[in-house]
Structure 1
Amino acid sequence: MKDIIKNKVEISDDPSTVPRRIAVFPEKTPVRFEEEKTEEKLVMTFPNLIIREVICFQIVVIILTLISLFINAPLEELANPQNTPNPAKAPWYFLGLQELLHSFPPIVAGVLLPMLVVIALIIIPYFNVNIKKESLWRNNSKIKLINFSAVILTLVAVSILFDAYSIAVPTILFYVLVILPYFVKKKNRLMSWLYERSLSDWIMIWFVSIASILTVIGTYFRGPGWSWVWPW
């Protein structure tokens, strides 16, 4: 064994006689030094998503067709340009915006707010916003409570300043619902669900809730002169 090792090792007192050697290391790290990467399960958009969307679309079309066959649409008389209805309401999908126009200046409700929403929808997907969907109160809960309270307080103050109580009151109720898991440590099914919601979930819940409330108010609770009336 010693003879074999001796044959492989070159011994010389003169450095110039020892040949140079180049060590080549592969780019790939040995397996024992590589970090384990979890394989993400990916599915193709077609047919996994497209087929489901087509089925849902067909179901919605069939339901709307059946409704139109058996239920008459609540149509009013022909439009008369000499007799403008009071109030002149927009289609239901624009009534939330019309409700905003009642409280805020036209430039704010009709231009600024919709423009900010569109810009946000364009920009937000390019940011790394809570990709892991971590619970809002899991880490740095005290700092998050202060920042979240400051944002809600500003939003409520601006809404009250413009007499937009249809936004201020639901926002206050929404705030109570969000901070409830922070103060109530008792765990049950409801508290666990509230605790596990991420910041992106709460933002979407607030946005959809406010849009729905404004639409309902504009549809059923606004009468002549856009004054508050009861549906009955």
Structure 2
Amino acid sequence: MKEVDTTQVYPKDANKTYGLMELVKGTKPTVAQQPDDMVYSWPHLLVRELIVFIAVAACLLIAAFLFSAPLEEVANPNHPPNPAKAPWYFLGLQELVSYSAFIGGVLIPGLIVVALALVPYIDRKRVGIGVWFAKERWMANGLFLTFLIVMAILIIVGTYFRGPNWGFVVPWSQP
């Protein structure tokens, strides 16, 4: 194998598999030819990340001591809570199931899973990739925003507007 001059920025090598196009003679910006100004990730980056991690963990610990998160009474199988609500992230699905068990529990979640599986085959355009809210991708952004809004509404209804026996109640008229 032929020795390559490593002092050049772009050494000439017959074995290279890449090419730099449009190199012209003239002035160029000063670029360091050696990696002298590099900073290693250990210890510089990782120590900073560790400090941020410790600070965030300390803030969470302090918040956990200052703000109580009261638990309900011990579970009693003779007197279950009415209504028994799912965690907030499942309340949208619980709200859908309350209207129709098949539609809310099988059909709509199944359609969402199938649609997510088909996304790579449906949306094959290369325009707008890497741009937030690209005008060329209005359909994908609109569908996602619609899904988010519908799920947020269902979660809010399930959290605040459902009372005993999963009946619809107005929260501000409750005693």
Question: Could you say which TM-score interval applies, normalised by the shorter chain?
Answer: 0.5 to 0.7
Structure 1 pair 229–63 and aligned structure 2 pair: CA distance change class (3 A) = farther
Select the residue among 199, 205, 210 that pairs with 2:150. Answer: 210
2:83 matched residue in structure 1: 87
In 1, the alpha carbon distance for the partners of 2:103 and 2:58 equals 40
Task: Please list, as runs of the form range in 1=range in 2, the aligned pairs for 1:38-49 lying within 5 A after superposition.
Answer: none
1:112 matched residue in structure 2: 107
Question: Could you tell me the TM-score, scaled by structure 1's length?
Answer: 0.44
1:199 matched residue in structure 2: 139
Name stretches of at least 5 consecutive residues in structure 1 with no aligned partner.
1-30, 32-46, 135-192
Partner deviation per Cα, 1:117-167 (whole Å, 9 max, x = no partner): 122212212333554249xxxxxxxxxxxxxxxxxxxxxxxxxxxxxxxxx
In 2, the alpha carbon distance for the partners of 1:66 and 1:199 equals 44
Please report how far the alpha carbon of residue 107 of structure 1 lies from its aligned counterpart in structure 2 after TM superposition: 2.1
C-alpha RMSD of the superposition: 3.3
In 2, the alpha carbon distance for the partners of 1:60 and 1:108 equals 42
Structure 1 pair 112–133 and aligned structure 2 pair: CA distance change class (3 A) = same
Question: Could you tell me the TM-score, scaled by structure 2's length?
Answer: 0.57
Residue 221, structure 1, aligned to residue 161, structure 2: yes
Structure 1 pair 223–119 and aligned structure 2 pair: CA distance change class (3 A) = same
Task: Tell whether the 8 Å contact from 1:97 to 1:109 is kept in structure 2 after alignment.
Answer: yes
Task: Please list, as runs of the form range in 1=range in 2, the aligned pairs for 1:77-226 lying within 5 A after superposition.
Answer: 77-104=73-100, 106-133=101-128, 198-226=138-166
Q: Percent identity among equivalent residues?
A: 43
> Which protein has the bigger helix share?
1
In 1, the alpha carbon distance for the partners of 2:124 and 2:99 equals 32
Name stretches of at least 5 consecutive residues in structure 2 with no aligned partner.
1-20, 22-40
In 1, the alpha carbon distance for the partners of 2:109 and 2:57 equals 29
